[in-house]
Amino acid sequence: MQMSWVGIGSPAGKVIIMKLTMKGDYGLRAMLDMAAYYGQGPIESADIARRQYIPEQYLDQILMALRKEGLVKSVRGPKGGHMLAKPPSQISMAQVMQALEGYVPPMECLPNPDFCKLSPGCALRTVWQQIDEMTQHILTSTTIEELAQKHQTGILETMYYI
């Protein structure tokens, strides 16, 4: 499984690293791409792959998983392609991540307390539970539409002068 590393700033100015698989990253990028063209009809996977720098064969696997979960629709034929199955405002990051990754806890002891003999009274497990709850809240409350709007804004605000 390929991983991306995401740096998060902490209050002390240090960087906390968390893992995000390439599958999740690519899936979210593909969803953002389709959100940018929402309502304009199907988009060819080759176009999504090119714009998002995703290997096309891998993207096809990701799109199939998203289609199985009802997040993406596919249309066959000369004017075919892929599109969001519902408005981007009705799709959360959590739904995309669940479709591609399932539940990925920050520590194995969260879903499986028997994994570690220290789990029943472990102070660290409590912190990992809080981190997991906060992460799930953010993923559940953040929609693809919100991300797409921020993504578009970021692109439009970038100016280069020669």
In a domain, 162, yes or no: no
Tell me the pLDDT band of 67, cut-offs 50, 70 and 90.
Answer: very high
In a domain, 130, yes or no: yes
Tell me the pLDDT band of 117, cut-offs 50, 70 and 90.
Answer: confident
Report the domain count for the chain.
1
E-state strands within the chain: 3-9, 15-21, 72-75, 81-84
Q: Tell me the average pLDDT across 49-67.
A: 96
| CATH code, domain with 39 | 1.10.10.10
Tell me the pLDDT band of 73, cut-offs 50, 70 and 90.
Answer: very high
- Quote the pLDDT of residue 103: 80
Helix and strand counts by DSSP (H, E) for the chain: 6, 4
**pLDDT top residue among 112 and 45:** 45
Whether the CB-CB separation of 89 and 145 falls below 8 Å is answered with yes
In a domain, 74, yes or no: yes
In a domain, 65, yes or no: yes
Q: Cα dihedral sign for 23, 25, 31, 36?
A: negative
Show the domain range for 39. 3-157
pLDDT digit string (tens) for 130-158?
A: 888 898 899 999 999 999 988 765 554 54
